[in-house]
C-alpha cells in the first residue's frame, strides 16, 4: 500500500499534476521545456520531477547537459490514473495554456538549434 500512498501524494500537488499533463500531451521533454512551459525555475521543476520519479510516474534520461523525462505507462494503478488524467484533465484551461507555451518554445528552440545546412 505504500506505493499507492506515494503515487497519490505525488499527484496531490498542482505543479506535479501540470508536469504530468504536459508530459502526457507532449511526450519526452527536457527540463528546459518544462520550465518554460510552466514558467517555473529549474530548481522547482527538478524537485517536482524527482518526486514524480520516486513515485514511479516518470523516468529520466540524460542527453548531454539536459535531463529528458517521460511518463512511465505500465500496467499498474499508476497507468490507470494516468489514463484518467489524460482523458479528463487534458482540456483544462491551465493544461491548454501550458501545452501552447510548450509547443511555442519547442518550435522556437528547434529553429535556433538547426545548423545552416539543414
Task: Classify residue 31 by burial, with Cβ atoms within 10 Å: 0-12, 13-18, 19+.
Answer: middle
Is the whole model's pTM more than 0.85, yes or no? Answer: no
Name the architecture of domain 2-105: Orthogonal Bundle (1.10)
pLDDT in tens, 32-84: 999 999 999 999 999 999 999 998 899 999 988 889 999 987 767 777 888 88
Cα separation, 35 vs 25, whole angstroms = 16
| Grid-cell match 528552440, residue found | 109
Domain boundaries, the chain: 2-105
Residue 89 reports pLDDT greater than 50: yes
Q: Grid coordinates representing 64?
A: 548531454
Amino acid at each position: 500500500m505504500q506505493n499507492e500512498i506515494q503515487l497519490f501524494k505525488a499527484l496531490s500537488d498542482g505543479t506535479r499534476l501540470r508536469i504530468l499533463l504536459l508530459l502526457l500531451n507532449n511526450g519526452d521533454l527536457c527540463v528546459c521545456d518544462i520550465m518554460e512551459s510552466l514558467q517555473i525555475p529549474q530548481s522547482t521543476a527538478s524537485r517536482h520531477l524527482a518526486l514524480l520519479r520516486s513515485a514511479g510516474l516518470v523516468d529520466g534520461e540524460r542527453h548531454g547537459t539536459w535531463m529528458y523525462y517521460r511518463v512511465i505507462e505500465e500496467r499498474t494503478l499508476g497507468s490507470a490514473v494516468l489514463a484518467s488524467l489524460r482523458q479528463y484533465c487534458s482540456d483544462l484551461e491551465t493544461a491548454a495554456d501550458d501545452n501552447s507555451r510548450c509547443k511555442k518554445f519547442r518550435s522556437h528552440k528547434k529553429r535556433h538549434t538547426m545548423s545552416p545546412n539543414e
